[in-house]
Amino acid sequence: MAENVKDKTIRIGTRGSKLALWQAENAAEKLQAAGFKTELVIISTKGDQVLDKSLDKIGSKGVFTEELEVALREGQVEIAVHSAKDVQSSIPADLELVAFMEREQVNDVILSFDPDFKLERESNAIIGTSSTRRKALLKKYYPNIGTAESRGNLQTRLRKLEERQFDALMLAYAGVYRMGYDNLIVHTFPEDEFVPAAGQGSVAIECAKNLEPELKKALKQALNHTETHVCLLAERAFLRTMEGGCSIPSFALARLNGEGVSITGGIVSLDGQTLLQETLQGPTVTAEELGEELANIILNQGGDEILKSIRTERGE
């Protein structure tokens, strides 16, 4: 590879939350190890600014990504670093996801300051979460649990927990671990029951499609994790076919195994009454087709009706 692509300082666009900065630093370290110079450029997004509304009310498209995408387009940064889960399923035609970084454990977890907190099926505790998927799955598996909104970055949510705005907090393990709060974990949900949101635990790197091909190649080489990439292609194809953003209670998790790739995914109605979930297995090269096929199966089983009733309820 030509040395000269590495003479360029890679400006890394990131949100300003501590988790976002951790992820951007992590990408920067990998780029430095590959010989690049790096610089972080902090960009605030609508999702950071509007904290008094739940995400499904702000609108699902690009709340955490749009301002970063503008910076890519205007050439203020070479790459943008996102939590893969926050990236809309179809990205604008002039941009592309050039890499997916190695995934962390994917599970949802419960945090509490009370080490004796037990999540039992009949529990009637109040859990802080703003995710439609988590709320609906809790209704399904823990019908007596109540939920309370907990928007904001991890530190804000922990403060709400400290103020006893709820008894416990439900989050992705990945962010909790990266921020060093794993000592507060009192419950880890199994990934086959609380299937995570597509992309959970992975970091996606976005760039302009017209970035120099040599540079793109070098960025991919430094940052992409092949196994994660294959799984994310399957999960994102599922999400795209479901036409659901982060405000739809769908879920998908792909894993590589000896025979290729397997993907489990589905959707749950907001009241937790209907859960559709299936698993497909296929060769790795068909990861995207498999994700699409799974989504079509779920839509045909009644997933389309669940989506329709959610949209009607929200007046969309």
**Of the residues 112, 123, 147, 200, which one makes contact with ligand PBG according to CB under 6 A:** 200
Alpha-carbon span 291 to 241, nearest angstrom? 8
Per CB under 6 A, 244 contacts ligand PBG:
no
- Per residue in 99-137, is it b (16+ CB within 10 Å) or e — as a string? bbbbbbbbbbbbbbeeeebebeeebebebbbbbbbbbbb
When the beta carbons of 138 and 172 are compared against ligand PBG, the nearer one is 172
- Tell me, what amino acid is at 270? L
When the beta carbons of 5 and 68 are compared against ligand PBG, the nearer one is 68
Shortest spacing between CB 202 and ligand PBG, in angstroms: 6
When the beta carbons of 86 and 293 are compared against ligand PBG, the nearer one is 86
**Of the residues 6, 85, 140, 229, which one makes contact with ligand PBG according to CB under 6 A:** 85
**Of the residues 17, 38, 83, 274, which one makes contact with ligand PBG according to CB under 6 A:** 83
Helix ranges, the chain (H): 18-33, 46-49, 55-58, 66-73, 132-141, 154-162, 173-178, 213-223, 226-242, 287-298, 304-313
| Strand partners for 277 | 266
Q: Which of residues 125-184 bind ligand PBG (CB under 6 A)?
A: 171-172, 174-175
Shortest spacing between CB 40 and ligand PBG, in angstroms: 18
Per CB under 6 A, 274 contacts ligand PBG:
no
Shortest spacing between CB 111 and ligand PBG, in angstroms: 10
* Cβ atoms within 10 Å, residue 161: 20
Residue 306: closest CA among 278, 279, 272, 268: 268
When the beta carbons of 134 and 139 are compared against ligand PBG, the nearer one is 134
Residue 249: closest CA among 196, 171, 179, 181: 196
* Cβ atoms within 10 Å, residue 66: 16
The separation between CA 262 and the C-alpha centre of its own chain, rounded to angstroms, equals: 19
Shortest spacing between CB 249 and ligand PBG, in angstroms: 14
**Of the residues 56, 67, 86, 167, which one makes contact with ligand PBG according to CB under 6 A:** 86
Q: Which of residues 92-131 bind ligand PBG (CB under 6 A)?
A: none
Quick one: which segment of 31-39, 82-90, 216-224, 303-311 binds ligand PBG (CB under 6 A)?
82-90
48: annotated active-site residue = no
- Alpha carbon distance, N-terminus to C-terminus of the chain: 50
**Of the residues 13, 128, 201, 244, which one makes contact with ligand PBG according to CB under 6 A:** 201
When the beta carbons of 77 and 174 are compared against ligand PBG, the nearer one is 174
Query: With contact defined as beta carbons under 8 Å apart, do 287 and 254 qualify?
Result: yes
The separation between CA 201 and the C-alpha centre of its own chain, rounded to angstroms, equals: 6
Active-site pick, 7, 56, 86, 114: 86
Active-site residue set: 86
Residues that bind ligand PBG (CB under 6 A): 83, 85-86, 171-172, 174-175, 200-201
